[in-house]
Structure 1
């Protein structure tokens, strides 16, 4: 898909209904030790219309198994959360590919619709430009 697919949605005045976004957000939760595998794989997908960020998080829930010791005492695990924004069809393909790439790794993912996507600066990045 062309890079333009990720350019910001046009802004709407507050009294108008926002334009629905065709984008989705894929959030992947992983142990910190596996972060490089996913990030390197994403960076190798040059030209794909994907925005992503990586965050250290304290996690607890059905996708997190607490290790004996410190994690159980703290009640949460140190994990990495990778958030990807892309057109929904791209996200659907990424979920399949990432499930294969990360098979056997503790963690998981979820997908949510993106209601609005916009940049703070007025000019979108030039096609092919890297941030």
Structure 2
């Protein structure tokens, strides 16, 4: 694992949002903040959990993104696997070439 920054994206069913948000906020040694955006999940692997989702034809989801170093992303994923086992959270990481704040 390296010190290079990555963007970790989690796709969270709306029913788990509050629980995942609380979990991430508690991981102060790894996560300094995150951004969440509403989304609609489509595809054969997407579980439509409510009658409303079945009627609409997509799952109500939230995309959660955080920037952290690669080894911290790995540690966070290990913790997520324990705390959210069986929930089928989808995730991916992507390299970040630049990250900062415009003042």
Specify which structure has the bigger relative contact order, considering alpha-carbon pairs within 8 angstroms and separated by 6 or more residues.
2
Larger Rg: 1
Give the C-alpha shift of residue 27 in structure 1.
Answer: 0.8
Indicate whether 1:38 and 2:59 are aligned. no
**Superposed displacement of residue 25, structure 1:** 0.9
Structure 1 stretches of 4+ with a deviation exceeding 6 A read none
RMSD: 2.2
Q: After TM superposition, list the pairs within 5 Å mapping 1:1-131 onto structure 2.
A: 22-61=4-43, 64-67=46-49, 69-121=51-103
TM-score by structure 2 length? Answer: 0.81
Which consecutive residues of structure 1, in runs of 5 or more, have no partner in the other structure? 1-20, 122-131
Gaps of 5+ in 2: none
Q: How many pairs were matched up?
A: 101
- TM-score, length-scaled by structure 1: 0.66
